[in-house]
Amino acid sequence: MLLACLYLIISSSSQLRARATEEYELARKKVSHFINASDSREIVFTRNATEAINLVAYTWGLQNIKPDDEILLTVAEHHSAIVPWQLVAQKTGAVLKFVELNGDEVPDVDNLKDMLSRKTKLVVVHHVSNVLASLVRIRRMWLNIEMSDLGYTILNTDRLCSSYQDIVLCAHDVGAKVLVDACQSVPHMVVDVQNLNADFLVASSHKMCGPTGVGFLYGKSDLLSAMPPFLGGGEMISDVFLDHSTYAEPPSRFEAGTPAIGEAIGLGAAIDYLSGLGMQKIHDYEIFLAKYLYDSLSSVPNIHIYGPVPSNHVSRAALCSFNIDNIHPTDLATYLDQQHGVAIRSGHHCAQPLHRHLGVSASARASLHFYNTVEDIDDFIWALNDAVSFFNSFK
Ligand SMILES: Cc1ncc(COP(=O)(O)O)c(C=O)c1O
Ligand SMILES: *[C@@H]1O[C@H](CO)[C@@H](O)[C@H](O)[C@H]1NC(C)=O
Ligand SMILES: *[C@@H]1O[C@H](CO)[C@@H](O)[C@H](O)[C@H]1NC(C)=O
C-alpha cells in the first residue's frame, strides 16, 4: 500500500516535472514571439533586466573588451545599464564615454554617431527613458527604406556614418555591438528585435504585468553561441568531470540552477494578456494619455517637466518626471499618497547621472499604463494643485 502510494507520488511528480519544463519552454516561445526573435533559443531567462545586463557584461564583455576600447552610453541610462560597464571598464582598462542630451532634452543621437570610432566595442542605449519619457530611434527605418527605394547609394564621406543611417547600422559599421535596454519599451509598444537589429536586448517581467523575479536577455544566436558561461552549476552543463565540464548550448548555458519556473510561466501569461489587448492599441492609447498628462501638468504653475515637448513629430511615453519650484518631490509624493491616495514616485529613479545633468538631485514622476484613464490624470492634477497650495501656504 505504502509502496503503491509512493509510486503514485513519484510518477505524478514526473508528469508534473515534464509539464513544468514544457510550460517553461512555452513561456520562452511566448517571449520570443512577443519581440519577434527568429528563434526562441535567442531568449535567456534571467531574474531581471539587471541580471541580463550583468550576464552580457561578465561573459561577452570580459571576453571581448580590451584596454583602451570604448563603451558608449548615454547619460540617461538606468544605473543597471551603467554600473556593470563601470565594473567591466575597471577590469579591462576600457573607457566609458557618455552621450549628453541635446536642446530638446533627449539623448543626442547625432552626437552618439559622431562619437563612434573603431575603438567603440559596445553601445549601450535605452529604448525609452524612464525619466525623460523620450524614445531613442534605434532604427530609422523609414529613412533607410526611402533612400534605398529611391536608388541612392549611401556614400562614405569623411564621417563614418550619416544622419540618415540608424544607430545600429553606424555601430556595426565600426564593428561595435549594440545593447538595448528595452525595460520601458517592451511593455508599452511593439518591439521587433529583427527589425531593430540590435545584438542584445533586455527587459523585466514585472514592468510587463508579469511577476517579479524573472526577466530576459535577447541575444543574436551567433553571439550567444560564442559566449562563455555566466554562472556555473546544474542545467547549464553538457558533461561534468571532476576537473572540468563541458557546457550546454544557449540558452541553457546561461541558466544555471533551478530556473524561475513559476515566474517565467507567469510572464508567459502576462504576454498572452498584453497580446490579447494588442500592443499597437496599447501604444496608441498611451501616446494619447501621455500627451494629455503632459498638457495637463504644463498648466501647473512653476513646474518643470523633463524631456521632450510632445508634438506631431515627437511622442512621449506615458510618464512625466517633474519638479515644482521650492517643493521637494518627496514632500509632494508623500502628500499625494497620504491625502489623496495618488501614487507617484520621487527620487532619482535609478538615474543619478541624468539628474545631475539636469541640474537637480531628484524629481517627482507620475507614470501611467494602459489601465489608466483621463479621469485618473484629472484626479492627479487636482490633487497636485492641492498639494502645491498646501506647501505654498507655509511660505
Ligand atoms: C530603463 C530601465 N532599465 C533597467 C531597469 C532595471 O530593471 P530591473 O530592476 O527589473 O532589473 C529599469 C527598472 O527599474 C528601467 O526602468
Ligand atoms: C518578424 O520579423 C520578420 C523578419 O524581419 C518579418 O518578416 C515579420 O513580418 C516580423 N513579424 C511581425 C509579426 O512583425
Ligand atoms: C534581480 O537580479 C539580481 C542579480 O541576479 C538578483 O540579486 C535580484 O534578487 C533579482 N531580483 C529579483 C526580484 O529576483
Residue 160 has pLDDT above 70, yes or no: no
What ligand is nearest to the CA atom of residue 231?
Answer: 3
Whether 67 is covered by a domain: the verdict is yes
Pocket (CB within 6 angstroms of ligand 2) = 36, 192, 194-195
Whether 1 is covered by a domain: the verdict is no
Residue 346 has pLDDT above 50, yes or no: yes
What ligand is nearest to the CA atom of residue 180?
Answer: 1
Looking up residue 268, the CATH number of its domain turns out to be 3.40.640.10
The residue among 192, 138, 194, 142 whose CA lies nearest residue 170 is 138
Pocket test of ligand 3: the residue of 50, 59, 80, 212 to mutate, having most ligand atoms within 8 Å of its CB, is 50
Number of domains in the chain: 2
Do 141 and 161 belong together in one domain? Answer: yes
Domain boundary among 276, 294, 326: 276
Residue 100 to residue 86: CA distance in whole angstroms: 17
Nearest atom in ligand 1 to the alpha carbon of residue 50 is: 11
Task: Return the residue matching grid coordinates 557546457.
Answer: 247
pLDDT of amino acid 5: 46
Tell me which amino acid residue 377 is. I
Ligand 2, atom 8: closest residue by C-alpha: 36
Ligand 2, atom 11: closest residue by C-alpha: 36
Do 64 and 130 belong together in one domain? Answer: yes
Residue 378 to residue 384: CA distance in whole angstroms: 10
SS3 letters across the chain: CHHHHHHHHHHHHHHHHHHHHHHHHHHHHHHHHHCCCCCHHHEEEECCHHHHHHHHHHHHHHHHCCCCCEEEEECCCCHHHHHHHHHHHHHHCCEEEEECECCCCCECHHHHHHHCCCCEEEEEEECECCCCCCECCCCCHHHHHHHHHCCCCCCCCCCCCCCCCCHHHHHHHCCCEEEEECCCCCCCCCCCHHHHCCCEEEEEHHHCCCCCCCEEEEECHHHHHHCCCCCCCCCCEEEECCCCEEECCCCHHHCCCCCCHHHHHHHHHHHHHHHHHCHHHHHHHHHHHHHHHHHHHHCCCCEEECCCCCCCCCCCCCEEEEEECCECHHHHHHHHHHHHCCCCEEECCCCHHHHHHHCCCCEEEEECCCCCCHHHHHHHHHHHHHHHHHHHCCC
Residue 11 has pLDDT above 80, yes or no: no
Residues 16-34 have pLDDT tens digits of: 999 999 999 999 999 999 9
pLDDT of amino acid 1: 43
Do 252 and 284 belong together in one domain? Answer: no
Residue 3 has pLDDT above 90, yes or no: no
Ligand 3 centroid distance, CA of 72 (Å): 25
Ligand 2 centroid distance, CA of 36 (Å): 6
* Average pLDDT value over all residues in the chain: 92
The better pLDDT of the pair 166, 254 is held by: 254
Q: Indicate if ligand 3 lies below 6 Å from the C-beta of 51.
A: yes
Instruction: Tell me the catalytic residues.
Output: 350
Residue 379 has pLDDT above 80, yes or no: yes
Domain boundary among 235, 258, 276: 276
CA geometry: angle at 24 spanning 20 and 26, to 5°? 115
Q: Indicate if ligand 3 lies below 6 Å from the C-beta of 213.
A: yes
Do 130 and 166 belong together in one domain? Answer: yes
Do 256 and 340 belong together in one domain? Answer: no
Do 238 and 343 belong together in one domain? Answer: no
What ligand is nearest to the CA atom of residue 83?
Answer: 1
Do 299 and 270 belong together in one domain? Answer: no
pLDDT of amino acid 395: 78
Q: What is the mean pLDDT of residues 227-243?
A: 96
The residue among 344, 347, 346, 345 whose CA lies nearest residue 383 is 344
What ligand is nearest to the CA atom of residue 37?
Answer: 2
Do 141 and 105 belong together in one domain? Answer: yes
Looking up residue 313, the CATH number of its domain turns out to be 3.90.1150.10
Asked whether the beta carbons of 138 and 130 are under 8 A apart, the reply is no
Ligand 1 centroid distance, CA of 215 (Å): 10
Pocket (CB within 6 angstroms of ligand 1) = 48-50, 78, 80-81, 126, 130, 181, 183-184, 204, 215, 350
pLDDT of amino acid 2: 46
Residues 123-156 have pLDDT tens digits of: 999 999 999 999 999 986 544 444 444 444 444 4
Asked whether the beta carbons of 184 and 129 are under 8 A apart, the reply is yes
Nearest atom in ligand 2 to the alpha carbon of residue 190 is: 14
Q: What is the mean pLDDT of residues 186-192?
A: 98
Q: What is the mean pLDDT of residues 50-66?
A: 98
Nearest atom in ligand 1 to the alpha carbon of residue 49 is: 11
Domain of residue 286: give its range.
279-392
Whether 13 is covered by a domain: the verdict is no
pLDDT of amino acid 6: 46
Whether 217 is covered by a domain: the verdict is yes
Ligand 2, atom 1: closest residue by C-alpha: 36
Domain boundary among 254, 276, 298: 276
Residue 364 to residue 376: CA distance in whole angstroms: 17
Please give the model's pTM, rounded to 2 decimal places: 0.93
